[in-house]
Amino acid sequence: MKLYKVDAIVLRSREMRDADRILTLLSRQKGKIKAVAHGVNKPSSRKRGAVQPFCYSSFLLYRGRELDSVNQCEGIEAFSGLRADLDRISYASYLAELTDSASMEDQIDGEAFFLLLTILHLISRDGADVELLTRSFEIRLLDIAGLRPHLDNCVGCGVPVESETVGFSSSTGGVVCGRCSGIAGDVKFFPRGTVEILKLLLKWDLKKTERIKVPPRVRQQLRQIMQNYISYHLEKKLATALFLEKLYYHY
């Protein structure tokens, strides 16, 4: 069959000439897919709504030799709560770019799909703790991608790290004990409580994230740990992450 159907979240929707768009989709059935949507930028196009970034839509795709194309599509959920708010739309753009960067094409990844769908629902709610949900998303996505940092035992010698101050090294992949802190040039020290919150974010019910109370100083440390770690392992700084920094953190 040349035609196939998927439910997918639009990770990226790039405008091309002739009113076309190139879409990067994360589908429930087939993982990441690239497809062209012809003519969707025309004001009269009925497909227009369903191909916007972060839309959850149903697609009928035509398998092409080089690139698949959108035959039909229909929006399931537009997450309108996201779109009216610069804060949320900036975070959602980051989540989509991170998912795109951390997942390979044709890698069937229902887990990443459901994680992203859940998080988009949660951050579009009023009163959502968007920053903490983002940290939670990051650590879970890394876990799914097989890139999760080691948070219990020292990556150098394997002993449980139980001191009040914990070293963390992105390049060696997690926490280091005091004796191994010379193991890499990028070891930075954090209170153990910060690392404990990171562990909690991995296991805690996502829908109850707001119940975890995290002071601003610890949020900043969590951001620093995750952003350094992600940049190191993806070998780049994401454009949307830089945008968030400019928007909110000014460093």
- Which residues sit at the interface with Zn ion, rule CB under 5 A? 154, 156-157, 177, 180
Least distance (Å) from Zn ion to the CB of residue 179? Answer: 5
Minimum CB distance to Zn ion smaller for 82 or for 177: 177
Least distance (Å) from Zn ion to the CB of residue 169? Answer: 11
Least distance (Å) from Zn ion to the CB of residue 226? Answer: 22
Distance CA 186, CA 115 (A): 30
Helix axes 130-144, 86-102, angle to 10 degrees: 10
Minimum CB distance to Zn ion smaller for 98 or for 187: 187
Least distance (Å) from Zn ion to the CB of residue 192? Answer: 15
Residue 35: strand pairing partners: 23, 68
Distance CA 172, CA 233 (A): 10
Residue 12: strand pairing partners: 24
Which amino acid type is present at position 129?
A: D
Minimum CB distance to Zn ion smaller for 53 or for 167: 167
Question: What is the pairing mode between strands 31-37 and 21-27?
Answer: antiparallel
Minimum CB distance to Zn ion smaller for 128 or for 154: 154
